Chains A and B, each alone.
Chain A
Amino acid sequence: MDATAVTTGTEGKIWGGDNEPLKASYGKMMMWFFILSDALTFSGFLAAYGFSRFKFVNQWPIADEVFTHFPFLHGVDAPMYYVALMTFILIFSSVTMVLAVDAGHHMKKNKVIWYMFFTIIGGVIFVGSQAWEWSNFISGEFGAVETKGGKILQFVNAEGEQVAIESFAASLPNDRTRLTRNEALWYESESSMPDYDLAEVVEGFKANPDLLIRTQILTESGEKTILSREASLAKLESDAVGVVQGANLVHNEYGPPLFADFFFFITGFHGFHVFSGVIINIIIFINVILGTYERRGSYEMVEKVGLYWHFVDLVWVFVFTFFYLV
């Protein structure tokens, strides 16, 4: 006994059902729409970064001066080379991923295994490199002085090269210790203390006549403004309130704290995507080895995780441009 009408009179019509106008499986289409929404999330972050940068457009840090480290090359000024290398590693892992997808189309299990393996390795190297970038950024390089208005004053020598505060700071008697929760005010504490206090930096600056102060303000040609010796001394005396070493969410020796906030937030969110991509890749990798997709007769899962992995690469292309190049 049929409870529902089987014929509707629309068989064979385009609206009669059983049509797949997008010719894509449910899973793949949902992956595309997830990617679209995730792309909009990242665009929101990057546009917010653009907003803050336009707000401080005449005093934003110069990326070439911030990211200058390369592993095993200590003290060598290597602007952007390491980020460029990271970009290559990620693009290359994208290539091995698409090769794995292609091998899956031809049901070549061993090829899929090897290509996915290289993809995972690339992803792990990338996340590790990002952690290394973060640690360099957090620990800082030269140190700076912060003013009442939250601006940063950096130190340069007569040639205009940046000078680290530890190279000239005087050593003065000082009984200030780190505030911990069991001293003074209850529940008030600080996570760390700069290695030098303001008096030591000011004293050292006075003792070295060829040192000058560099402000955040960019000149017409896109370089930071360097003050004269007299103006430097006056600025240091009247405005400086503390020493900053490295960067965190509140203080940033490279310039506006917003730069550090966005750096941590955007590269962190991207790094989290890479990390979860590696985890998902490993799951699919294990399934490929176990022969799950061989039995299923289709490697479409590899294709779906591949879409996500390429998306992570796509986002990095934009992050690379807007954080390191522009």
Chain B
Amino acid sequence: MAHETSNHGSATKRIWTVFAILSVVTIVEVFLGIVRPEFLVETHLFRMHLLNWVFIVLTLYKAYYITWAFMHMEQETKGLRRAVVWTGIFLVCYLIFILLTEGDYIFDVYHDGYISWDF
């Protein structure tokens, strides 16, 4: 197979390091989720409070390690890596942008319109 290069010791060491990183990040996420520090909830950035952005960044950080280390993406060729990763990222960004913009618009219609939805 293509990547029989790394010796046994360092490969398992890398796996356990990544496991430690993923665990620590998850613990931090749960801790923040329960405590919900006030300054993070009250600070807003791009119409969402900072805490949510922290969660999203930490999630992407975890996703990077799972894909790169556990799924061995770092050992694949550049072509395969880009074909999979950039296709996904491009389409997902597009989808999120369209749907969230549209959802926000409908919220405004419900909220500022002349029809009462709370009865």
Contacts and interface: CB of A to CB of B under 8 A. Distances in A.
A97 B27 CA distance: 22
Q: Which of the four size classes fits the interface of chain A?
A: 35 or more
Interface in A148-200: 148-149, 151
Given A84-B26, A91-B26, A324-B33, A149 B119 contact: yes
Nearest to A298: B1
Contacts of B22: 91
Given A24-B80, A36-B87, A47-B95, A98 B15 contact: yes
Contact of B66 (A94, A148, A320): A94
Interface size class on chain B is 35 or more
Contacts, number: 156
A162 B92 CA distance: 38
Question: Which one of B16, B55, B67, B71 has the greatest number of beta carbons of chain A within 10 Å?
Answer: B71
A311 B95 CA distance: 20
Contact of B92 (A43, A149, A311, A321): A43
Given A47-B99, A91-B26, A314 B12 contact: no
Interface in B57-87: 58-59, 62-63, 66-67, 69-72, 76-77, 79-80, 83-84, 87
A54 B84 contact: no
A311 B71 contact: yes
A22 B91 contact: no
A40 B88 contact: yes
Interface string B1-35: 11010001001100110010011001101101110
Interface string B82-110: 01100110011001100110111011001
Interface string A227-257: 0000000000001000000000000000000
Label chain A's interface by main secondary structure: helix
Contact of B15 (A36, A95, A239, A321): A95
A105 interface: yes
Contacts of B102: 51
Nearest to A99: B15
Interface in A203-228: 215, 217, 221-222
A79 interface: yes
Contact of A102 (B11, B56, B91): B11
A36 B84 CA distance: 6
A58 interface: yes
Pick from A48, A55, A106 the residue with the most CB of B within 10 Å: A55
B55 A325 contact: yes
B26 A64 contact: no
B79 A321 contact: no
B70 A43 contact: no
Given A51-B102, A102-B8, A311-B71, A91 B87 contact: no
Given A94-B66, A94-B70, A321-B55, A47 B119 contact: no
Q: Which of B56, B70, B102, B111 has the most CB of A within 10 A?
A: B70
A51 B59 contact: no
A320 to B, nearest CB: 8
Contacts of A324: 33
Interface string A50-80: 1111111110000010000000000000011
B112 interface: no
Given A22-B80, A53-B103, A105-B1, 17 more contacts: A21-B77, A22-B77, A22-B79, A32-B84, A40-B92, A50-B103, A54-B100, A54-B104, A79-B34, A97-B70, A98-B15, A101-B72, A148-B119, A222-B41, A298-B1, A320-B59, A326-B52
11 contacts: A50-B96, A51-B100, A54-B100, A55-B110, A58-B107, A95-B16, A95-B70, A102-B11, A306-B70, A311-B71, A324-B33
